[in-house]
Structure 1
Amino acid sequence: MKTARLCAGLMAVLVLTVSGCSAADQAQNPSPTSAAALTSCPATPLQAPAGNGQAPQGPPMNELKVPVDTSTSKVIDPAGAKQIQCGRTQLKTTDDVAYSTATLANGTAKPLHLDIQVPAGDSAKPLVVYVPGGGFSSANRKQTLNLRTFVAESGYVVASIEYRVQPDGATYADGLADIKAAVSYLRTNAATYGINPDKVALWGESAGGYLASMAGVTDTDPKSRVQAVIDKFGASDISKLMADYGPQIEQGFANSPNPIGQYITGSPAKSLAASPEAVTAANPVTHADAGDPPLLIFHGDNDRVISPSQTLLLHNAMTKAGATSTRYVVHGADHGDLAFIGDPNAVSPWSTEPVVSAMVDFLKATLS
């Protein structure tokens, strides 16, 4: 019973993780240097209440049992830093673009959509494809509207995509196929959206960070291969997903069938511990290679959902293989925005200027 509650709690947190603006962000004052132009970045639309009309309740959170290793990483302390602001340039937004139609496990067709933001100007812009999180149980492309808007205003076409998830009967291989399809669609329609098809990056958070990094280290198709990847608090070795929270939680999760295990193994009856070959094949660390696109990684040192060591494993695997990887540890940051489950301050570190500027600087360096 305790293990089942743990897994349910983990899934609930992952599904509810949305890095949008909180109410506090909306009240931010404009920057004194550009008060006439800048405002708070737009907030992610609120999720609908649960079936009983009540806001989602926060599940139990994990407690870190080991220190976060920052020895090969850069540390950002966002305490006191300003929140990002938007309004620097005009954007054209087109929502609900069907980029592909997938066939689900039950044989039904599911159209897959993306929302796209295009900055003003006649020149072709680099493309950033955002892959949302959701614990492999949802893929809400409306997430992180504040961050997506800021990045688009920095001179990038930003497309946020949905992909197949575990309730569709899908596996991670299907999610990767959907990412490839989205990149291929956008490259094919580059002229329509003002995209430079030779400069494409993936950016994912949580489950989306895992899929983005996995796509980066496995995709060799010229139509969908990208030039850079940003992975924010994603998994890299599923067999050790809970390693930083103590042996009981780690072993309980690995040995209990759960939706994450089903998305990886393809079977609702198989646990991660009982499927070592499938898990190894699904781990980004397995595929790290010198020819992989440059990788930028972020993780909070107070993440209570995915072990911070997950991104360290990927960073070390990439550098050992001879690839380019940079990892930032954000001091005091939890797993994205947990405002919807009782922590309205969790979003703040992730939408501060030093954290988001590191993302934009990386995109400028890799897509210039």
Structure 2
Amino acid sequence: MRSASLSLGALAVVATLAVAACSGGSTGASPSSAPPSPTSSSACPSSPMPVNPPGGAGSTPQVKLVVPVDTSTSTVLKPDPAQQIQCGKVQVDTKSNVVFASPKLANGQAKQLLMDIQVPRTPGPKPLVVYVPGGGFVQAGKEGNLPLRTYAADAGFVVASVQYRVQPDGATYADSVADVKSAIRYLRAHASTYQIDPGKVGVWGDSAGGYVVAMVGVTNGDKQYDVGDNLDQKSDVQAVVDKFGASDLSRIESDYDPASQQAAAQMMTVVGKYVNGPAGTQPVADTPATVAAANPITHIKATDPPFVIFHGSADTLISPSQTLMLHNALRAAGVKSTRYVVDGAGHGDLSFTGDTKSALQWTAANIAAPLVDFLDQNLKG
């Protein structure tokens, strides 16, 4: 049996932020069809610390994962933090703060949803990857994960990082899924502007974003989530990258010790409202029909797009069993799914908790390469 630990104070931060590390470095330039500039490889841009993250670290008991990490249907990868991803093979232009939708919130006010779009200067239309950030269902910072997003753009993909409505907006999971599908339709409608091949679209999400993209992938063709603008465009995707996302929202904390489960009570209240609606007061475990509809496993069908799934073996926020359930259900239905367990890795970039080495495990070249290889295999050619 393996165990992992993280301070409960850090858990409070992570429960609200997940992997919401902020980033910068946008050029604000418009996409260009110019050929790539000959450049040498260099370190990918870094993501600066978030400004005023909620919560805070403290001297508290330890969070413990008390179930074995099952790797029987997965591939174990041992990260090499000394060998980091490199960028700079091509020029990448960024268009920031593009408004793609203005849905109404629970209070009746409209909220502008924004995206940042990275376009590599390579000839012709390119596959699109829509990146969906984490944030514990309470934030959705599109600026996050800049190093890996740039790495994917450097590999020849248009990468659009998108906002979506979250629980403090009065939103449910269905609203978040609808927002990501709205972003996909918008980008297809503006494919020529951003040099996108509209027939080759993938989604990639971390943590809460991993959950959302799993739902997006298994609801291809389900029109109940297609609301808003550009309804003449499809929201279907051809590939899904799920990094340490939840699947059964009623069991997020069930693999941790009792003290950890008690500490997660506030997070589970947020999850309950995210599933049942802002007026919902029941725990998700008491609303089985509703939580089943919010579980991507419920929607799996043989025609779903291929998945690649990543999870750290030492994740103390979302148990590795969450992605294992999804992976095994996809395979049982005949869907192509590959799952990687990253040995010793935690829940993404936790540098804002004082863990300055956590991000290096996820930006190690041997961990990032399978992600881009999957996108190459399923979105190129």
TM-score calculated relative to the size of structure 1: 0.88
**Rounded Cα–Cα distance in structure 1 between residues aligned with 2:325 and 2:52:** 37
- 2:281 is matched with which residue: 239, 264, 269? 269
Shift, 1:44, TM fit: 1.8
Return the offset for 1:367: 0.7
Matched residue type, 2:237:
V
Structure 1 runs of 4+ with >4 Å offset: 6-11, 19-22, 58-61, 247-257
| Aligned counterpart, 1:241 | 252
Percent identity among equivalent residues? 51
Match of 2:240 in 1: 229
Change (3 A) 1:337 1:255: closer
What is aligned with 1:316? 328
For 1:352, give the aligned amino acid: A
**Aligned counterparts of 1:256 and 1:338: Cα–Cα separation in 2:** 17
Deviations 1:107-139 (A, max 9, x none): 001010000000002310000000000000000
Output one character per residue of 1:156-204: Cα deviation in whole Å (capped at 9) or x when no partner.
0000000000110100010011011000000000000000000000000
Q: State which of 324, 331, 344 in structure 1 corresponds to 2:343.
A: 331
Shift of 1:72: 0.4
Q: Mind listing any 5+ residue stretches in structure 1 that lack a counterpart?
A: 1-5, 23-35
Query: Which amino acid in 1 is paired with 2:19?
Result: V
**What secondary structure, in the 3-state scheme, does the structure 1 residue paired with 2:247 have?**
coil
> Quick one: structure 1 residues 181 and 159, their matched pair in 2 at CA, closer, same or farther if it must change by over 3 Å?
same
**Cα distance change on mapping 1:344 and 1:268 into 2, 3 Å:** farther
Q: How many residues align?
A: 347
Whether 1:281 and 2:293 are equivalent positions in the alignment is yes
Does structure 2 retain, via aligned residues, the 8 Å contact 1:21–1:42? Answer: no
The one-letter code sitting in structure 1 at the alignment partner of 2:66 is: K
How far the C-alpha of 1:16 sits from its partner, in A, is: 3.0
306-315 or 238-247, which moves further after superposition?
238-247
Q: Deviations over 1:197-242 (max 9, x none)?
A: 0000000000000000011001315610000000000001112212
Residues 20, 147 of structure 1: 8 Å contact kept: no
What is the alpha-carbon distance in structure 2 between the residues aligned to residue 74 and residue 263 of structure 1? 32
3-state SS of 1:273 partner: helix
Structure in which a larger fraction of residues adopt helix: 1
- The residue that corresponds to 2:57 in the other structure is 57
CA distance in 1, matches of 2:297, 2:12: 23
1:89 and 1:166, CA in 2 relative to 1: closer, same or farther beyond 3 A? same
Q: Cα 1:258–1:213, aligned 2, differ >3 Å: closer, same or farther?
A: same
Aligned equivalent of 2:304, options 292, 306, 309:
292
Q: Does 1:103 align with 2:104?
A: yes
Distance 2:315 2:307 in 1: 20
The answer as to whether partners of 1:21 and 1:41 remain within 8 angstroms in 2 is no
Q: Give the aligned partner of residue 117 of structure 1.
A: 118
Closer/same/farther in 2, CA of residues 256 and 208 from structure 1, 3 Å limit: closer
- Tell me the SS of whatever aligns to 2:48: coil
- What is the aligned-residue RMSD (CA, Å)? 2.4
Q: Relative to structure 1, is the Cα distance of residues 7 and 285 closer, same or farther in structure 2, using a 3 angstrom cutoff? A: farther
Q: TM-score, normalised by structure 2?
A: 0.85
Distance 1:21 1:136, change over 3 A: closer
1:311 shift after superposition: 0.3
**Which shifted more, 75-84 or 326-335?**
75-84
Aligned position for 2:45:
42
Question: Does the 8 Å contact 2:16/2:267 carry over to 1?
Answer: no
**Shift of residue 10, structure 1, vs aligned partner:** 4.5
Please state whether the residue corresponding to 1:269 is helix, strand or coil.
Answer: coil
Contact kept in structure 2, 1:16 and 1:340, CA below 8 Å:
no
